[in-house]
Structure 1
Amino acid sequence: MHYFALFLAILGEVAATTSLKAAESFTRIGPTIVVVVGYLVAFVCLSVTLKTIPVGIAYATWSGVGIVLVAFIGWWRYGQRLDLPAIVGLGFIIVGVLMVNLLSKTEVH
């Protein structure tokens, strides 16, 4: 259940962050509502997650997965280009998130 809450936190943050561009400095009401609701969902769900997952693990996962998803959506929806160093760097982020969650024994999670 705690990883489901983290998943919802990631989705809320990604929806809000990718809607910032469409909100055009908060001059468009629809995307602005998505930004506000998305961040609200993200922080509420992240706070629920922190009851069972250590803050370092939760935040590393939340931010790492969010970075990769926002970069992918920027490429797909907004046509933003990702060069080879960017793709490799995003790959390193994915590897890092996997290592923290699957291999790390520093904290129980």
Structure 2
Amino acid sequence: MRNYTEQVRKEVDSDFCFYCGKYIKSDKTLDHIIPVSKGGKDEVSNLVVCCHDCNTIKDNYTIPQLIIELEKQMRWCGDNEIKKARLEYYLKIFKIANDKIKASRAV
């Protein structure tokens, strides 16, 4: 979890990926919900612990942008059922994550 202070790491620490819910111990990463390059802040309210796979998929997208990108990729995967299943999986978990974020910010 990079160069964050001990306090920041404690505040956001979790043993589960925020996005997919997988138990993680060794491949923990911190992700900016809204990437810094897209105007997101480098603060606790914009950070979540996630697994390496979800962080790699999310890349530099906001979650709504990623959902659009995954839907676009699904239209082009043709008969590749393995790729389609993988895209469907990530589309589902990021839609759920988007709903969780919206709900937490509405409070």
Q: Please indicate, yes or no, whether the TM-score normalized by the shorter chain is above 0.5.
A: no
Structure with the bigger percentage of strand: 2
- Quickly name the TM-score band, shorter chain normalised: 0.3 to 0.5
TM-score, scaled to structure 1: 0.33
Structure with the bigger percentage of helix: 1
TM-score, scaled to structure 2: 0.34
Q: Which has the higher contact order (CA 8 A, sep 6+)?
A: 1
